[in-house]
Structure 1
Amino acid sequence: MHPNSKFRLPGSDADQRAIMEALVQEIGFGMVFVQTPDGPRVAQTALFSTGDGAIQFHLANGNALTRHLHGSEALVVVNGPDAYVSPDWYEGENQVGTWNYISIELEGPVRKMDHDGLVALLDDLSAVNEARLAPKKPWTRDKMDAAYFDKLTTAITGFEMEVRAWRPTFKLSQNKSEAERLRVADQLEKLGKRALAHLMREWVA
């Protein structure tokens, strides 16, 4: 998390948490970090926000983290849009380059899910992501052989992390004047960084 308090979300704790949960669900992918007996390890995985303070994910059984996660304290990082900001886009001299970005850190204890929980997670992930492909008809596991699907699930393990700490960074040039921030947003728009440019214009008071 960036130490500058300007790079935080406005609003109440409840409002901020709702925004962060929505972003986790929208991005849907992140990194899970855990300290293991072999040293720190990280895994990349699809994420599902339950909406009630938990994050669910699954890993291959052969992943270096899988056997260490149950009962461990984990850190999940979800990154949003990001881009380099040139000093030339600011007013005046003695400016330096920087990076604008969105990132959320989530921390909490992890438990292993049972088989029914894993299957529910896979169904939830499919439903959320297939809906984004409309008007394509959503894929469901009904299109698979049930025995083959069950066989595949034996190669992965589902986990749920109770999120006890949320640490967001929304670094969108809030430390600059409004004119400078909007000018940077315009430059990023020209480079195709539309999502970040939009956030700089709309999310900063």
Structure 2
Amino acid sequence: MRENQSFAQADDDEIRRLISENPWVTLVSNTSRGLVASHYPVVLDESAPGITILSHVGRPDERLHELGQHEVLVVVQGPHGYISPGWYDADPAVPTWNFTVAHLHGVPEILPAAENLEVLAALVDHFEDRMPEPRRMRGTLENAEYAARISAGTVGFRLTATRVEAKWKLSQNRPAETVERIIHELTDGAHYANPALAAEMRRVHPLAP
């Protein structure tokens, strides 16, 4: 990802927030047979230092990715969207795309079966917690036995990022009045409303409405 200091994000807490709120990631490996990409949910490993994620892949993805044999790239994408030049108080002007994204690099650690089962349970809990009647992976004896059986078809991993590239491109290079107009259009506009992106912009422009 091209570096741009105007948009660089180096706050680990913000990057963890991005991962927590956008847990569906792209896993990319440069294997002996070429590039491979898969998509999986992740959770943060809160007990580990730095930025560490936990997940699993379904068999035979671990062989396709040659998981654990080399560095992989995990792409975490947050809110993003089209920004019309009509929202700028400038002429000429061209459109752009605002976004939040993080690239995590590291070599995955393959987890033993028992720990993989714990990770699967943590993933289920992460998404079920907001449900009115959460369905836990081990909520009943029958469900626990079923989960234990099917977990054999997955391979769990822990990835501690040894390199992180993150970019929050949210109109930091625009004057305050332009930022206000963009946020207004993203919040209440008729054509490209994007409240999640507007909320991210407010985080980096705290004085904006």
Q: TM-score, normalised by structure 2?
A: 0.88
1:105 aligned to which of 103, 126, 145: 103
CA distance in 2, matches of 1:93, 1:8: 27
Aligned partners of 1:108 and 1:162 also within 8 Å: yes
CA distance in 1, matches of 2:186, 2:17: 24
Aligned partners of 2:29 and 2:73 also within 8 Å: yes
CA distance in 2, matches of 1:65, 1:188: 43
How well do the aligned residues superpose, as a CA RMSD in angstroms? 1.7
Unaligned runs of 5+ in 1: none
1:166 aligned to which of 138, 142, 164: 164
Match of 2:93? 95
2:82 aligned to which of 75, 81, 84: 84
1:128–1:147 CA distance, 2 compared to 1 (3 A): closer
* Deviation, structure 1 residue 157: 0.6
2:43 aligned to which of 21, 39, 48: 48
Unaligned runs of 5+ in 2: none
CA distance in 2, matches of 1:169, 1:114: 34
In the comparison of the two structures, how many residue pairs are matched? 198
**Equivalent residues in 2 for 1:119-158 (5 A)?**
119-133=117-131, 136-141=132-137, 142-143=139-140, 144-158=142-156
Which amino acid in 2 is paired with 1:35?
Answer: N
* Deviation, structure 1 residue 43: 0.7
CA distance in 2, matches of 1:106, 1:20: 10
Q: 2:188 aligned with 1:192, yes or no?
A: no
CA distance in 1, matches of 2:120, 2:113: 11
Query: 4+ residue stretches of structure 1 with deviation over 6 A?
Result: none
CA offsets 1:88-129 (integer angstroms, 9 cap, x no match): 110121111110000011111112110111111111111111
Q: Identity of paired residues, percent?
A: 25
SS in 1 for 2:108: strand
SS in 1 for 2:125: helix
Aligned partners of 1:74 and 1:107 also within 8 Å: yes
Q: TM-score, normalised by structure 1?
A: 0.90
1:92–1:145 CA distance, 2 compared to 1 (3 A): closer
